[in-house]
Amino acid sequence: MYRKALIVSVLVAFVCVQIADSLVCYTCVTPKDCKSPKKVTCTNAAANETSYYLGVYHQNVRNLTSTRFDCLALKYNWNNDVIHQLHGCVHPNVGACSLALKPAYAHYNKTRCLTCSGDKCNKNPAGKMSSSTITIVASVLGLLLVKIYA
Ligand SMILES: *[C@@H]1O[C@H](CO)[C@@H](O)[C@H](O)[C@H]1NC(C)=O
Ligand SMILES: *[C@@H]1O[C@H](CO)[C@@H](O)[C@H](O)[C@H]1NC(C)=O
Ligand SMILES: *[C@@H]1O[C@H](CO)[C@@H](O)[C@H](O)[C@H]1NC(C)=O
């Protein structure tokens, strides 16, 4: 009985750590860059870098440290051209998608902005990757639990 409980806790802890502590996001900072985005494991340093780029166009980007992170995908258009694009790890509390643009950039059209939590979930389109990954993890875990308790 103890053993089962132990196995279950280890599994749960493992899954939680996977989701919370080693989030991987796509990262790129210009439209050109975003044609072949890199991958980055989220850290405060990586999220600070995103904050820095957010701060170029937006007002009141806060300096934060976080214990968990989200992935960001942000795109602005102007006359049908992608004028600004930014993917990366963010501090959830920065509220990346509700930031106001600086007056000089207020004419930009925000065509896409999402934050999501799941490995590489900021790839196109909107977070499909993340939910499917989490679903797979959840079903595997479910199966294991059924096996252990059956
Ligand atoms: C991120 O920014 C915060 C606030 O400016 C700072 O306290 C922290 O040291 C930075 N972290 C890293 C890893 O650069
Ligand atoms: C955040 O930190 C950077 C560099 O450490 C600084 O230039 C900037 O003014 C800070 N922003 C805020 C809102 O405190
Ligand atoms: C911005 O978006 C609005 C609504 O989608 C559109 O009507 C407008 O033409 C766009 N402006 C530019 C400069 O692309």
The conformation of residue 35, written as its DSSP 8-state character, comes to G
> Whose alpha carbon is nearest atom 4 of ligand 1?
63
Q: What is the per-residue pLDDT across 96-133, written as a single tens digit (0 to 9) for each?
A: 999 999 999 998 998 899 999 999 999 854 333 444 45
Region 21-37: mean pLDDT is 90
Phi, then psi, of 91 in degrees rounded to 5: -70, 125
Residue 150 lies in a domain: no
Pair 92, 68: CB distance under 8 Å:
yes
> Whose alpha carbon is nearest atom 1 of ligand 3?
109
Residue 26 belongs to what domain range?
Answer: 2-138
Q: What is the per-residue pLDDT across 5-19, written as a single tens digit (0 to 9) for each?
A: 665 665 555 554 555
Residue 143 lies in a domain: no
Looking at residue 22, its pLDDT comes to: 84
Q: Compute, in angstroms, the gap from residue 60 CA to the centroid of ligand 2.
A: 10
Give the span between the Cα atoms of 43 and 48, in whole angstroms: 8
> How does the average pLDDT of the chain come out, rounded?
82
Structural domains of the chain, count: 1
Residue 113 lies in a domain: yes
CA–CA–CA angle 90, 41, 88 (5° rounding): 35
